Structure 1
Amino acid sequence: MNYRHSFHAGNSADVVKHSLLIALVRALQQKPGALTLIDTHAGCGLYDLDGEDAQRTGESLQGVLRAFAEPNPLLDDYRAAVQAVNSGTEPQFYPGSPRILAQLLRPQDLLILNEKHPEDAYTLRGVMRGTPAAVHERDAYELWLAMLPPRTARGVVVVDPPYEQPDDRDRITATLAAAHRKWAHGVTVIWYPLKDRATHTRWTGQLRRLGIPKVLGVEHWLYDADQSGIYNGAGLYIVNPPYAFTQALPPMLEALRAVLAPEGHSGEITAAWLGD
């Protein structure tokens, strides 16, 4: 499945991913120790919702614009992160994970970004100018392992590929297994699109067989029944999520489900441990 982010910026998957990523990092920052934040597939870092790619799909209408129209205070941090890159009341620009993570940095934290595509990496460097982020242009899975363990005792790796390559899930599975051997207590966030339940079930089984003790799966299905051959939602696998994050998760998930459910559908968003 090809998921070139410029076409999908600000869609429902971004709202869920970035809302939870902000909550996760903030939960880790309840302790004063430094964090290293690593984004393996950083993309361009900032997207124009009025641009040709985003306008072609119009997916932000069912994502970030719905979140801005919804007063639920549980989404305040997410809306603030988007508003930080905009001057008007309605967002024109959408921050990718690199810009959102940069907003969350404390003086003691580190941010490492990676984008393999040369044009996107060039754009990313411009977008991140003025921030303390280090930008690499390497194979994402090679960099993932090379950066572990990080210089700080704690950290987060965000793995968010476009799923352009048929072996992305296999490479994620193999790299996660190796990464866990190098950095067993590290926090890892893996985003994925949901196109059909059979593919997702097979991959979940592969990840479960790795035997990693604490993997939380968050699944967001947009429709009440699968829509054949199209994007049905997205999810996150989160390795070693902190307790403060998991305890606060149920009401946030319900807020996201209610905001993002397509007309005529109630939608479903769940969180469960892979070992359950």
Structure 2
Amino acid sequence: MNYRHSFHAGNSADVVKHALLIALVRALQQKDGALTLIDTHAGCGIYDLRGDAAQRTGEATQGVMRAFADQNPLLDDYRAAVQAVNEGAEPQLYPGSPRFLAQLLRPQDLLILNEKHPDDAYALRGAMRDTPAAVHQRDAYELWLAMVPPRTARGLVVVDPPYEQTDERARIVTTLAAAQRKWAHGVTVIWYPLKDRAAHVRWKEQLRKLRIPKLLTIEHWLYDADQPGIYNGAGLFIVNPPYAFTQALPPMLEALRAALAPEGHRGELAAAWLGARSGGLPRSPSPHDGEGLVAQRFSNGAR
């Protein structure tokens, strides 16, 4: 699957990813110590929703535009971050993860961005010139390993690839395993699209075999039944999410699900621990979804 950011800017996956990224960073910032924020696949930094790429898909109408039309105050921080790069009531520009992260920086925090594609790296430098971010142009997985552990005591790595390479998932598994050996307490976020359910289940099994004690998976299924051959949603793997984040997660997931549900569908937004560790996330009486996976569901039924 080739998922280039410019074609999908502001879609439902971006809304979920960025709303949760804001919440995650703010949970980490409840402690005063400095954070290093690392984005391995940073993209262009900012996207024109009126541009040809975004207009060809029109996905922002089902994403950021729905979030702006929604009244739930739990999405206020997300809407404010998007509004910060716009003038007027309706968003015309959409910030990528680098711009969201830059808005969250405190004086003691560091932001390291990486983009391998030359044209996107050039655009990224322009988009970030008014921020203290350091911008690299390297192989994402080489940079990931090179930058951990960071110089600060705590940090966050965001891995958000376009999945244009057939070995993308395999490289993520290999690099995550190596990064865990170097930085076991670090926080890592891995974004992924949901299209082929069987392939996704196999990938989760590979990640489960890494035996990471605290690995959270969040899956957003847009439709009440799979739509073969098309994009069905997206999700996040989060390694070592802080307690404050997991405790606040259930109402945030429900707010996002309700705002983004397509016409005629309820959709599902679910969080679950991938592995034996189950502490830190509120439990419900939902059934287990596979061996060692303690599920927390926030919509009708379990997938």
Which TM-score bucket, shorter chain as reference? over 0.9
Superposed displacement of residue 268, structure 1: 0.3
Q: Please tell me the residue identity of whatever aligns with 2:127.
A: V
Cα pair 1:85 1:93 within 8 Å, conserved: yes
Question: Using the alignment, how far apart are the partners of 2:3 and 2:38 within structure 1?
Answer: 20
Q: Report the secondary structure of 2:188's partner residue.
A: strand
Question: Using the alignment, how far apart are the partners of 1:116 and 1:199 within structure 2?
Answer: 26
Superposed displacement of residue 43, structure 1: 0.1
* Structure 2 partner of 1:37: 37
Deviations 1:35-94 (A, max 9, x none): 000000000000000000000000000000000000100000000000000011000000
Superposed displacement of residue 9, structure 1: 0.0
Deviations 1:107-138 (A, max 9, x none): 00000000000000000000000210000000
* Structure 2 partner of 1:226: 226
* Structure 2 partner of 1:195: 195
Cα pair 1:145 1:175 within 8 Å, conserved: yes
Deviations 1:205-232 (A, max 9, x none): 0000001100000000000010001000
Q: TM-score, normalised by structure 2?
A: 0.91
Q: TM-score, normalised by structure 1?
A: 1.00
Cα pair 1:196 1:226 within 8 Å, conserved: no
Superposed displacement of residue 19, structure 1: 0.3
Residue 185 (structure 1) aligned with residue 181 (structure 2)? no
Q: Which has the higher contact order (CA 8 A, sep 6+)?
A: 1
Percentage identity across aligned positions?
Answer: 84
Question: Using the alignment, how far apart are the partners of 2:88 and 2:206 within structure 1?
Answer: 45
Superposed displacement of residue 5, structure 1: 0.7
Q: Report the secondary structure of 2:230's partner residue.
A: coil
* Structure 2 partner of 1:9: 9
Question: Using the alignment, how far apart are the partners of 1:65 and 1:123 within structure 2?
Answer: 24
* Structure 2 partner of 1:101: 101
Residue 269 (structure 1) aligned with residue 269 (structure 2)? yes
* Structure 1 partner of 2:171: 171
* Structure 1 partner of 2:153: 153
Residue 207 (structure 1) aligned with residue 240 (structure 2)? no
Q: Please tell me the residue identity of whatever aligns with 2:130.
A: G
Question: Using the alignment, how far apart are the partners of 2:75 and 2:149 within structure 1?
Answer: 32
* Structure 2 partner of 1:46: 46
Superposed displacement of residue 26, structure 1: 0.1
Question: Using the alignment, how far apart are the partners of 1:244 and 1:130 within structure 2?
Answer: 31
Question: Using the alignment, how far apart are the partners of 1:199 and 1:187 within structure 2?
Answer: 25
Superposed displacement of residue 255, structure 1: 0.4
Q: Report the secondary structure of 2:42's partner residue.
A: coil
* Structure 2 partner of 1:57: 57
Question: Using the alignment, how far apart are the partners of 1:14 and 1:208 within structure 2?
Answer: 25
Q: Please tell me the residue identity of whatever aligns with 1:104.
A: L
Superposed displacement of residue 196, structure 1: 1.7
Deviations 1:219-267 (A, max 9, x none): 0000001000100000000000000000000000000000101001000
Matches within 5 A, 1:217-256: 217-256=217-256
Question: Using the alignment, how far apart are the partners of 2:130 and 2:12 within structure 1?
Answer: 29
Question: Using the alignment, how far apart are the partners of 1:34 and 1:196 within structure 2?
Answer: 39
Superposed displacement of residue 197, structure 1: 1.0
Pairs aligned (count): 276
Question: Using the alignment, how far apart are the partners of 2:261 and 2:72 within structure 1?
Answer: 15
Question: Using the alignment, how far apart are the partners of 2:95 and 2:262 within structure 1?
Answer: 23
Question: Using the alignment, how far apart are the partners of 2:186 and 2:174 within structure 1?
Answer: 16
* Structure 2 partner of 1:138: 138
Unaligned ranges ≥5, structure 2: 276-292, 294-303
Question: Using the alignment, how far apart are the partners of 1:258 and 1:130 within structure 2?
Answer: 35
Unaligned ranges ≥5, structure 1: none
